[in-house]
Structure 1
Amino acid sequence: MNLLKLKIIELLDKHKKITPVAHELDLKQPTITYHMKSLEQEMGVKLFEARADKMLLTAPGKALLHYAVRINKLAQEAERVVMEYGSLARGKLTIGASYVPATYVLPEVLSDFSKHHPGIEISVLVKPAPIIKEKLWNHDIHLGLISSEPFEQPSLSTQSICEDELVVIFAPEHHLAAYETLNPGLIATANFVLHGEQSSTREMTTRWLNNHRIALIGPIELDSIEAIKQTVQQGGHIAFISELSVQEEVRKGQLLMRKIPNTRFQRSIYCCYNKDRYDSRLTEQFIDTLHRSFKNSPSPSINYWKN
């Protein structure tokens, strides 16, 4: 079995026809057919079946596809690493980030990195932390930047970049603003804005509410952190949210924040990568820029617990 045959498996699943596979690989159709038959002989099972004008994968073919996709991605990664090893003048870096680091951490880091490495193409995928972890496991991205409670995942290497506590926020005119310290009973009197269901913040909020037997009536659910902050600023709702994401509004007096009672949701911004990936100079340089950015900046943690 060679990489070309695995690439044919992946492209046949994509195109369902031999002609576009041959075109994409710059080969003749008989050559593609030869490799398909050769692969079936090697594996000892039928991997392909013709239906009407389509060429489809059999059940064993689909099983092989799962590994073919992963092996092809690793092969592409190996080629990329070798080509960029001697120079950082060119290259591509794909980063996955959950919403908080994507919005409040990455912009400054990306700007700094691009100034020093203008030839590097960077793309950022913004998704909830669980999806970023999955993308890392599947080798779909090179690096992940997520806001999360401490976690262990054998396939991932993680580095804590900075701390980011979960806090409760509300407008200065909200009735909770009269209290410097909150308790579950007070929070139960407020209307909530909730994060989307896939968010780690939503999971922690739900856990806290369940632990204190608080049932919400008519909460608002929003996927955007900025939309959550704007809604809370209107004065009628509260939200559990990343401290890092509300620093500017708290400094300007547009929002107040307090500690969440009885529980300290201590989270960190983690930089993660798949242990199976070679730690190339490109990823090393980006991680160095990430650490340097926080080393040279004031601590992101602030304390504005009073009016």
Structure 2
Amino acid sequence: MKINRVLLNAAFIMSLFLASNQFLYAQEQVFQVLALDGEVMFKKGEEWQAVELGQALLASDVLKVEDNAYLGLVHTNGHTLALDKKGTYEAGHLASKIRQNKLSVASKYADLYVQNLKNGSAKANPAERALEQKRVKVLLPNSVDVFNDEVILRWKNVAPVGEKYEVKLKNMFNEVLMVKEVEDTKAILNFNEDKISKERMIIVSVNSTEFKDQQSNDYGMKHLTAEEAAPIAQELKELKLEITDQQSALDKLILASFYEQNNLLADALTNYEYAISLAPEVEAFQVAYDQFIFRNGLAN
């Protein structure tokens, strides 16, 4: 009898332990929302509520993704996951399918990205706002450091200026080194091109081909030397080793966060462009891009 009571007590304690562990797991955060498009709901108690950008999801949360909706998640260990098929999903079940190796650097910059989403404040320098407002506005600060060889320049029209543009690249002595003609509001700039590869700093401006007087301000772009880039390059190398699928739009958001945190805004903007091009049907990436522009005061 005594042995039976001991066994019953042990079983009772074990059941309490298991129940406690299950409860703790149910309350554990497993994902954060990086990107959101369309109607996505989660169940809170007996009610369905809209999922919000930057929201933390618990293992016990049940998600419902409707037709043509998109949900981009990052696990607490740094792995990303995209849901774009209609259905109901258990967050805990999704988490169990994620590889368990922790991506420390990716997780760090995913967290910083979510913090930026929640803060949402513009960081424009008042001196920049005081500049003369041109009809063509390049989405850059007055001067910017550039890490990568290739960046995408983007601009917007404050007023109608036609459909064709000239992108002028000059040296510090105001000598024109190169002119690119484009029929879009963006251009790819590669610092390895012969005419600019030896320049320490280049000055960029954009003007309408049809109306030459309709132009942007000048923007200074300095390509970092290998020595200047070294401290950033090491962490970036670690991040890229962690991101196994660098063609993922969600991973491009994390790379954009890395560059933004290191004040490399042209490189960050370029990765937002890559994210949009990889998932052009998902409006969430354009929204993320617009939030980046606002947050850094680049549209002022």
- TM surpasses 0.5: no
| Structure number having the greater strand percentage | 2
Give the TM-score taking structure 2 as reference length.
0.22
RCO greater where, 1 or 2, for CA within 8 Å and sep 6 or more?
1
| Structure number having the greater helix percentage | 1
